[in-house]
Amino acid sequence: YNDKFCKSIGGITETKHYYNYPGGRSYIRVDCETEHYVYEGGLDKRSSLDSLQQAIFFSTLTDKKPAIVIYNTDNEIGKYEHRIMQASKKAGIKFLIY
């Protein structure tokens, strides 16, 4: 899903960004990165509830705007899409359903 979405907007998938924390050094991979946005992609499942945190953290590392894209696998707006959409809206973060 991330590859298809990212190609459709001219982005790059799985860009690697390093960061330091008090106990050492690690990295994250951004699902899709464009010139202005870092997208966290997720399925319309419970596992995507942390998408908001990930998008915001990506943004802190890249100085780009955070965004979330949820892949709608059942053609319905279910409870998880709704929760993520409402939290994104409240936080002022771009939210897409793809």
Q: Which phi-psi region, left, alpha or beta, contains residue 10 (left: φ > 0; alpha: ψ -120 to 50)?
A: left
CA nearest neighbour of 56 among 75, 28, 25, 80: 28
Amino acid identity of residue 34, one-letter, is T
* Whether pTM exceeds 0.95: no
Q: What pLDDT shows up at residue 60?
A: 97
Q: What pLDDT shows up at residue 77?
A: 94
Q: What pLDDT shows up at residue 21?
A: 97
Q: What pLDDT shows up at residue 78?
A: 95
How many angstroms separate the CA atoms of 95 and 81, rounded?
Answer: 10
Q: What pLDDT shows up at residue 65?
A: 98
CA angle 57, 8, 32 (to 5 degrees): 15
Q: What pLDDT shows up at residue 91?
A: 96
Average pLDDT across each block of 10 residues of the chain; the chain has 98 residues. List them in order.
96 98 97 98 96 97 98 95 97 97
Main-chain dihedrals φ then ψ at residue 62, nearest 5 degrees:
-110, -10
